[in-house]
Structure 1
Amino acid sequence: MLRHLDVAHDRFGLSTPFRISRGVKTAADVVTVTIAQGAVTGRGEAVPYPRYGETIEETIAAIRAIAPAIAAGLTRAELAGLLPAGAARNAVDCALWDLEARLAGTSVAALAGLPEPVALPSAITIGLDTPDAMAGAAARHAQVPLLKIKVDRSDPAAQIAAVRAAAPAPRLIVDPNESWTIDTLEVLKPHLAEWRIDLLEQPLPAGEDEALAGFDSPVPVCADEALHTAADLDALAGRYAVVNIKLDKTGGLTEALTLANTARAKGFGLMVGCMVCSSLGIAPAMLLGGQAAFVDLDGPLWLGEDRPGGVTDRDGMLSPPAPGFWGS
């Protein structure tokens, strides 16, 4: 039976601006893929990321270009040979997982040999702002298990100290989004343990992180922009202790599962992250959450309105979408 592909650009306004060292977002622009086989439909979502040279228009065009292959019954294994790792492949891969599970009358978790998703402690992100504003945001979430704070190179010591003082209990991820230099890191090194930072995420620019090989960090350093697929892992050895798996980088759940298994075998700790997206982008990633030491899947919590039936948060515990939303 032929399959029918539909691909669309959807926009979700944010309830408050999302600021990182690279800029400010006021909306989540996503590409939504629907693949129908008869009366059964699978869905997937991806966020094209300008940092990786991706645009909405080019992502949609790349997906439409493989419509004949999808119609003819393209498999997830075959997909990897048609699209590179990235947003376009992610949206199609996740739609194929969803469709496959529904056609089989089972769940994606069962197909993948994974436990069904459950509520997980997921980071609540404190966006980049003045130290006082960041402290105010942190105080409102001081009871959650895990905070993630976005910093830049302007005054990271004041930003981190303000958040830690306002929220002394949660575990803490600090994410400079590639904005630091090795000199910044050396200056802050004596304070990293003092602030009780649990993870430092991508402090130096990817491709310019060779200095991390000689840096004796008092806290684990995590690769984000420096990691896309399992093929990148060997180059990260000696520089990073943890890797951040995002489906928009890996090109979908299929490669993300391979990456997780390979990373663990090579001794890396795991983090599962996301872009600012809807719950359709988060549901597949939650399947990896149980394997990760750090989960950062709060993208939909920034939206003014999510897709109906999506994930829910209660005091930093993220619960899966309603049954039937994706993958079940």
Structure 2
Amino acid sequence: MGSLETEPVSLSLKRPFRISGREVRRVRGYWCTCVIEGNSGRGFGLRRGIAEEMATLDAVARRYDEPLCRVWGREPASIESFATVDLVGAEQAEKLARRYYLRGYRKLKVKVGGDDLKRDLERVEACVKSAEFDALILDGNEGLTVEEVFRLLDFLDFDGDVYLEHPTPPDSLEEVCESCEAPVIVDVMDLGARSIDDVLDVAEPCDIVNIKTQEVGFVGGLRLARDAREEGFKVMVGCAVESFSSISAAAHLAAAVEADLCDLDGHLFLDEDVVSNPGYAPVMVTEGPGWEVRVERPKPA
């Protein structure tokens, strides 16, 4: 027999987190404890069902003293994450990006699609000049026009891999995909997508599906990753602003689906958490038990 205890939680941020069209000031979600045969699992979710699913999976994994990814059929792996610069000014963006690099991050996501393309260009330039990152995602959260996407790409001077994440509203994604070389990522949270059919309806020309457990759940994430690969997409595992516990669980999902890209840094913006929050976590080794990880921070070259 098992038991579930779920309670609402509210977590403050260090500062407002700004993306195109909205601002996050506080994270409201649920914290769940599940006990199965004396083994206690814990889970966080922006929705009650996500928290309860995570806690149940954690309890099952701990019952067998195994990492969560192994319960899903894959061995532990090292998961490397992007770090995110939100819609801040160029000076603050440069400081953030440099700090991320010094703490071990080698891949950077920069939010664009604010009210002023000039500020977007300045933010991107400041981040690129701050350190020698290997990869760059320009994440528009649907806030750019097609013309603005091309102006950003024409302006960009970056030697590493470049990706576009949900740069425009869905009805313009096909034009972006057909007219630029950078791989285009579609975000299931921006789409409100729960299945591969939802993705195909509006984003079939895109290259990569960004799966977020806070939108589709953990088992749903496994299913969506499988279906996405069958349709020819690559797979990214991303996040919202959320607890380090669910970030860690998402790292186990990334290991289980052998994700091509990972953006698992949403815990960095929290001022408080329901578990011990290590802060910078550029590499997470999914050792378990349950959703637990070991954090590694590569030193600058």
Task: Bin the TM-score by the shorter chain.
Answer: 0.7 to 0.9
Q: Distance in 1 between matches of 2:157 and 2:199?
A: 27
Q: How far, CA to CA, are the matches of 1:322 and 1:293 in structure 2?
A: 21
Bigger Rg, which one: 1
- Residue 301 of structure 1: aligned partner: 268
SS in 2 for 1:141: helix
- 1:174 maps onto 2:133 in alignment: no
CA distance in 2, matches of 1:107, 1:196: 33
**More strand, by proportion:** 2
Give the equivalent residue in structure 2 for 1:56.
none
Query: Which of 117, 120, 124 is the equivalent residue of 1:160?
Result: 124
Instruction: Say which of 132, 135, 139 aligns to 2:98.
Output: 139
Matched residue, 1:53: none
Distance in 2 of aligned mates of 1:197 and 1:12: 34
The TM-score with structure 1 as length reference comes to 0.76
How many matched pairs?
A: 283
Which 5+ residue runs of structure 1 have no aligned equivalent?
Answer: 48-86
Taking a change above 3 Å as real, the CA distance of residues 104 and 136 of structure 1, as seen in their structure-2 partners, is closer
How far apart in 1 are the matches of 2:288 and 2:10? Answer: 22
Distance of 1:124 and 1:173 partners within structure 2: 10
| Matching residue's letter, 1:111 | V
In the TM superposition, what is the alpha-carbon distance from 1:142 to its structure 2 partner? 3.5
C-alpha distance in 1, partners of 2:11/2:288? 20
1:245 corresponds to which of 206, 211, 222: 211
Secondary structure of 1:183 counterpart: helix
Sort the Cα spacing of 1:303 and 1:119 in 2 relative to 1 into closer, same or farther, 3 A. farther
Write the letter of the residue equivalent to 1:36: V
Pick closer, same or farther for the CA change 1:263–1:140 going to 2, 3 Å.
same
Q: How does 1:74-223 map to 2 (within 5 A)?
A: 87-116=47-76, 118-143=77-102, 144-153=105-114, 154-155=116-117, 156-192=120-156, 196=160, 198-206=162-170, 208-209=171-172, 211-212=174-175, 215-223=178-186
> Is 2:174–2:203's contact at 8 Å kept on the other side of the alignment?
no
| C-alpha distance in structure 2 between counterparts of 1:132 and 1:9, whole Å | 37
Change beyond 3 A, Cα 1:324–1:228: closer
Cα pair distance change 1:195/1:171, threshold 3 Å: same
RMSD: 2.7
**Secondary structure in 1 matching 2:280:** strand
Q: How many Å separate the matches in 2 of 1:10 and 1:190?
A: 44
TM-score, structure 2 as length reference: 0.82
Equivalent residue number for residue 277 of structure 1: 242
CA distance in 2, matches of 1:109, 1:115: 6
1:126-157 per-position Cα deviation (integer Å, ceiling 9, x unaligned): 12111222122222234521111112241222
- 8 Å CA contact 1:276–1:302 kept in 2: the answer is yes
Aligned position for 2:42: 43
Kindly indicate whether the alpha-carbon contact (under 8 Å) linking 2:62 and 2:289 is maintained by their aligned counterparts in 1: no
1:310·1:325 contact (CA, 8 Å) conserved in 2?
no
Per-residue CA deviations over 1:71-106 (Å, capped at 9, x if unaligned) read: xxxxxxxxxxxxxxxx34322222221232234454
The share of aligned pairs that are identical, in percent, is 28
Deviations 1:152-177 (A, max 9, x none): 24122222122112234341111111
Q: Partners of 1:37 and 1:256 in 2: how far apart?
A: 23
**Structure 1 segments (4+ residues) deviating >6 Å:** none
Match among 256, 277, 283 for residue 317 of structure 1:
283
Query: Which one-letter code corresponds to 2:180 in the other structure?
Result: S
CA distance change for structure 1 residues 284 and 194 in 2, over 3 Å: closer, same or farther?
closer
Q: Distance in 1 between matches of 2:48 and 2:195?
A: 15
- Describe the shift of the 1:305–1:214 C-alpha distance in structure 2 as closer, same or farther (beyond 3 A): closer
What amino acid is aligned across from residue 113 of structure 1 in structure 2?
G
1:197/1:248 Cα in 2 relative to 1: closer, same or farther (>3 Å)?
same
Unaligned runs of 5+ in 2: 294-301
Q: Provide closer, same or farther for how the CA distance between residues 195 and 9 of structure 1 changes in structure 2, counting only shifts above 3 A.
A: farther
